[in-house]
Structure 1
Amino acid sequence: MPDPIVECIPNFSEARRPDVVEQIMSAIRSVNGIHILDHHSDLDHNRTVVTYVGTPGAVEEAAFQAIKTAGKLINLDQHTGEHPRIGATDVVPFVPISGVTMQECVEMARRLGKRVGDELSIPVYLYEAAAARPERQNLENIRRGEYEALKIEMGVNPDRNPDFGPSKVSTAGATVIGARAPLIAFNIYLTTNDVTIAQKIARSVRNSSGGFRYVKALGLLVEGRAQVSMNLTNFRQTPVFRVMEAVRSEAARYGVAVHHSELVGLIPQDALRDSAAWYLQLDGFEPDQILEEKLNQVRLEKAAVPAIPGKDFLDQLSAETPTPGGGAAAAYAGSAAASLVSMVARLTIGKKKYAAVESRMKLIIEQSEALRLKLLTSMQEDSAAFEAFITASKLPKETQEEQTQRAQEMEKATRTAIDVPIKTAEQALQAMQLALEVAEAGNINAISDAGSAGELAKAAITAAGYNVRINCQGLTDSSTARNYMEKVRGIEKSAADILARLRTVLSTRGNFPLE
């Protein structure tokens, strides 16, 4: 199977300082596996919209780095622009593209929201599918009064307090994070500078005023021209061409016309197909009548070689190179354990029989997914630690000073090479505890998966322990080596206790003949 893909479209309250926009985009690019597809800066709105894709873990990390960077560089007390906003990073939506469910994007939003609140002290609101409160599903409700009102009301009016982070805004404002279906940001410019006409048309087409169900609209003055600025939240139910014709018709009532339109960010291909077929009045049109679409089908058929999950990492592991090695394999096993925990918890949610434990299972998913991503990161850190040790060992040693410097660097690198598997073992132990919980209370039909999670986590701890032991032999400080060994033995003892309890649950609740 191909890697799962998530799209993220963060909106930043800056467009007039290109250097700031570039620093934010650099923060996004700094995360491996991220591909920026588009960015759009509007000077009148003073707003930049970036569209990027990647695997869920990479997309989530890139969003955090972007929020962190924007929070340092953008001061809302000094910001002006036509577009409503409450934060330096105003809104961050996650959109499932392939191999990812909406629920997984919701979990990403909640996990990121908590991290932003805890680590950056930026208030965070959850919206759309991730909303913790029904009235916060709609972004407009959260943005009411914008940053200026939020500064006054947050911490005073409980309805304005955030879902995560402090109940007080700094100059970075607040950030809205959520999960939603693909959205089309579509602006129509009119042949007039009378913004009241654009406002009247926006009122007639937007859902909140009785217009189209899946349209949000504002009337703005942009570049000296009246603009109807819209978000189409479900183009299949409310097609682009229908909205365009409604705006055109309304504009004619006021004696003006459509001058031109623009997209902010990307648009799904199906939306353009639908519009082309409608305007050309094509009867019985099928997508595969498009030449490029047909050619793409041929390419896909030729390239349809079944992908083996994890093959790339396993190929690297089997190669005659020292990295990745046992430490990375330990983290890989731990990540697989956390993934199985998530699976069992998800198979429990929504089942009437397990309603009493549903809230706990949702929390377990957040915890196990965070562990899964941390353990995947540990895989890379383990290889980097070994490479750092090799680099230190190659330092010159001709003089006494060089020998001392080399010894210090090797000692430092050795400690890092121990710290990483220790961390892996600690994280795998947490995954084991969660495996025990889902085995005890989760969907009985998936109890074998919970058991497998526990055994994989135990294997990860054992393998990580071997890496700690061999690296401890390279330490010159014997007391430090003893402390490390005591720590890893404590983790192994806890793991053995959990595994014994897990096997008891499998034997009793799952009726497994383990002997």
Structure 2
Amino acid sequence: MTQLIECVPNFSEGNNMEIIKQITDKIQSVEGVKLIDVDAGKATNRTVVTFVGTPEEVCEAAFKAVKKAAELIDMSKHKGAHPRFGATDVLALVPVSGISMEETVVYAHKLAERIGRELHIPIYCYEFAAREDKRKNLASCRSGEYEGLAKKLADPEWEPDFGPAEYNTSVAKSGATAVSARNFLVAYNVNLNTTSTRRANAIAFDIREKGRIKREGGTLTGKKVLDKNGKPVYEPGLLKCVKGIGWFIEEYGIAQLSFNLTDTTVTSVHEVFDAACQRAQARGLRVTGSELVGVIPLKAMLDAGKYFLKKQQRSTGISDDEIIKIAVKSLGLDELNPFDPKKKIIEYIIAEHKPKLIDMNLKAFAEETASESPAPGGGSISAYMGTMGAALGTMVANLSAHKRGWDERWEEFSNWADKGKYYHDELLKLVDEDTNAFNAIMDAFGLPKTTEAEKKSRQKAVDDATKYAIEVPFKVMNLCYKSMEVMKAMTETGNPNSVSDASVGALAARAGVRGAYLNVKINAKNFSDQAFVDDILKKAKELDRAAESLEVEIMEIVDRKINA
């Protein structure tokens, strides 16, 4: 698996887009790196850039960007609402796929050392890249901000991890940079119907994990409570893994709650939104919407959409596109700017956009199947029949969840719809995968076979491709058969007006099982590992018989209901 990391540098410039373009041009000049988001804020005078790629290339692009930012941005003249202490204020490396956090930390340290050594910028490492506990928190590393940097550099306890430990002319211009390796962070702002930064801060302090300074008597004007070292004691906020402040955004004319969600598996976006709504109402304010800065994982959006669907007592077994629409509208993510999932959800951004069978319209797919090309063939069609069967079962579950008079049963049918959607999604992937498996066999047979080494390599490629061409339709068989459980349940307990739809779904899934079985058998004829062939053919035969038996059961139920 290719190693991929994400890099999220924050540059202290949000008004002059020519400067930002010169920086992002440096990022895009590195082959193997994809720029996926540039989010500039005028009031904060800050731009969050997101790009992804292989580790070495990402680090090279990051270095070039930091160098260009130091040339173009003069921190001695910088003003902005967001805390900051450098031209490149923070730079985070995030493991995306095929790479561990430990490996990402190594890259972060190498990059930090190079920036400090070659560009003469003080570097503080935080989060997983921190070299001591007190530097794990970004707020600690950035305390005092740019205005306090000279004092910080003079303090032996805050000597930079890399780069110069003195405030010279060069550092006065570039400031310092905080470099980290961290989990995926979601930068999320909540919009309020007020212009008061003080009130926004009060709500942010209610919610963020750090909370607010504890005061005697529990009043805002009470004396600060200090610990034995003379440092303020904090009253924890409502939500873990959440950092936040309040600010006023002049370009929108509103105050916002600005949050960083450092682990959405602990605290989700929708939990932050709900907490903000509750705390705003308690303070006489109202949340009007929210804003995503940068990108977000698909799961976080799907979790939010499903959460709001459940609050509405609606089925969650609908398409991802529809679930995302619910999330966007429920969170008000399109209040300030249009929200395009293809540009804001990281999995959609980095997905390879190769032509796929499943992206064709019905007419084009049918015509491609009918053409003189051998693929798509029976294997892909079997997977697609199974897809449509599962889709019909899911449809009946969704109709049943939304049926008037069955409101108390919505969750029961939503669970069935979720199961059906799982089988539908998995089988849809196999439509292309079966054709890919067939093409891999053709490619293997096309390899050279002049020398003994070439013959050996070619035969291994043929064997590997043939084995996979057996495994793919066997997986189709298994998924089609299991999906019939949904259709059976819907014929028994689903909306009686849709019993025929559920039964057609069962027939389509049954056809998928039988069609895929034929593909398993024909591909197994050409495979040399007899033990593997005997085992998989035995399992496939059992699946085919079980599907046949289940089809009979389902049709008996349907006949009784239709003829009743």
Q: TM-score, normalised by structure 2?
A: 0.52
Deviations 1:187-224 (A, max 9, x none): 00100111111100110111111121110001101122
Q: Does the 8 A contact of 1:150 with 1:160 survive in 2?
A: no
Q: Does the 8 A contact of 2:76 with 2:172 survive in 1?
A: no
- Aligned match for 2:246, one of 211, 215, 219: 219
SS of 1:164's equivalent? Answer: coil
CA distance in structure 2 between the aligned counterparts of 1:74 and 1:303, rounded to whole angstroms: 52
Who is 1:335 aligned against? none
* Structure 1 residues 236 and 158: alpha-carbon distance in aligned structure 2, compared to 1, 3 A threshold: same
SS of 1:166's equivalent? Answer: coil
Who is 1:49 aligned against? 48
SS of 1:81's equivalent? Answer: coil
CA distance in structure 2 between the aligned counterparts of 1:29 and 1:303, rounded to whole angstroms: 34
Who is 1:258 aligned against? 287
CA distance in structure 1 between the aligned counterparts of 2:174 and 2:280, rounded to whole angstroms: 38
- Superposition pairs for residues 135-284 of structure 1, below 5 Å? 135-154=134-153, 156-168=154-166, 169-209=171-211, 210-211=236-237, 212-223=239-250, 224-281=253-310, 282=316, 283=411, 284=415
Q: How many residues align?
A: 308
RMSD: 2.4
CA distance in structure 1 between the aligned counterparts of 2:419 and 2:164, rounded to whole angstroms: 50
* Structure 1 residues 151 and 247: alpha-carbon distance in aligned structure 2, compared to 1, 3 A threshold: same
The aligned amino acid for 1:183 is L
CA distance in structure 2 between the aligned counterparts of 1:28 and 1:197, rounded to whole angstroms: 39
CA distance in structure 1 between the aligned counterparts of 2:291 and 2:429, rounded to whole angstroms: 30
Percent identity of paired positions between Structure 1 and Structure 2: 41
CA distance in structure 1 between the aligned counterparts of 2:63 and 2:164, rounded to whole angstroms: 17
The aligned amino acid for 2:49 is V
Q: Does the 8 A contact of 1:240 with 1:275 survive in 2?
A: yes
Who is 1:68 aligned against? 67
CA distance in structure 2 between the aligned counterparts of 1:243 and 1:80, rounded to whole angstroms: 29
Deviations 1:315-364 (A, max 9, x none): 9xxxxxxxxxxxxxxxxxxxxxxxxxxxxxxxxxxxxxxxxxxxxxxxxx
CA distance in structure 1 between the aligned counterparts of 2:294 and 2:158, rounded to whole angstroms: 30
* Structure 1 residues 71 and 249: alpha-carbon distance in aligned structure 2, compared to 1, 3 A threshold: same
How far apart are 1:158 and its partner, in Å? 1.3
Q: Does the 8 A contact of 1:122 with 1:170 survive in 2?
A: no
The aligned amino acid for 1:9 is V
- Superposition pairs for residues 361-380 of structure 1, below 5 Å? none
* Structure 1 residues 162 and 273: alpha-carbon distance in aligned structure 2, compared to 1, 3 A threshold: same
How far apart are 1:274 and its partner, in Å? 0.8
* Structure 1 residues 101 and 254: alpha-carbon distance in aligned structure 2, compared to 1, 3 A threshold: same
| Runs of 5+ consecutive residues of structure 2 not aligned to the other structure | 212-235, 311-315, 317-410, 441-446, 448-564
- Aligned match for 1:289, one of 405, 410, 421: 421
CA distance in structure 2 between the aligned counterparts of 1:288 and 1:68, rounded to whole angstroms: 52
How far apart are 1:303 and its partner, in Å? 7.2
CA distance in structure 2 between the aligned counterparts of 1:276 and 1:132, rounded to whole angstroms: 39
Q: Which has the larger radius of gyration?
A: 2
CA distance in structure 1 between the aligned counterparts of 2:36 and 2:241, rounded to whole angstroms: 25
Q: Does the 8 A contact of 1:287 with 1:293 survive in 2?
A: no
Deviates more, 1:160-169 or 1:74-83: 160-169
Q: TM-score, normalised by structure 1?
A: 0.57
How far apart are 1:160 and its partner, in Å? 2.1
The aligned amino acid for 2:433 is E
CA distance in structure 2 between the aligned counterparts of 1:303 and 1:131, rounded to whole angstroms: 48
CA distance in structure 1 between the aligned counterparts of 2:57 and 2:241, rounded to whole angstroms: 30
The aligned amino acid for 1:76 is M
Who is 1:312 aligned against? none
How far apart are 1:299 and its partner, in Å? 6.0
CA distance in structure 2 between the aligned counterparts of 1:272 and 1:148, rounded to whole angstroms: 38
Who is 2:89 aligned against? 90
* Structure 1 residues 97 and 194: alpha-carbon distance in aligned structure 2, compared to 1, 3 A threshold: same
How far apart are 1:301 and its partner, in Å? 3.2
CA distance in structure 2 between the aligned counterparts of 1:122 and 1:16, rounded to whole angstroms: 23
Q: Does the 8 A contact of 2:24 with 2:65 survive in 1?
A: yes
The aligned amino acid for 1:101 is S
SS of 2:174's equivalent? Answer: coil
Who is 2:124 aligned against? 125
Who is 1:99 aligned against? 98
How far apart are 1:289 and its partner, in Å? 2.6
* Structure 1 residues 299 and 271: alpha-carbon distance in aligned structure 2, compared to 1, 3 A threshold: farther
The aligned amino acid for 2:210 is S
How far apart are 1:298 and its partner, in Å? 3.3
Deviations 1:224-248 (A, max 9, x none): 2111000001111111111101000
The aligned amino acid for 1:161 is E
SS of 1:165's equivalent? Answer: coil
How far apart are 1:153 and its partner, in Å? 2.7
| Runs of 5+ consecutive residues of structure 1 not aligned to the other structure | 309-314, 316-515
The aligned amino acid for 1:289 is K
Q: Does the 8 A contact of 1:12 with 1:90 survive in 2?
A: yes
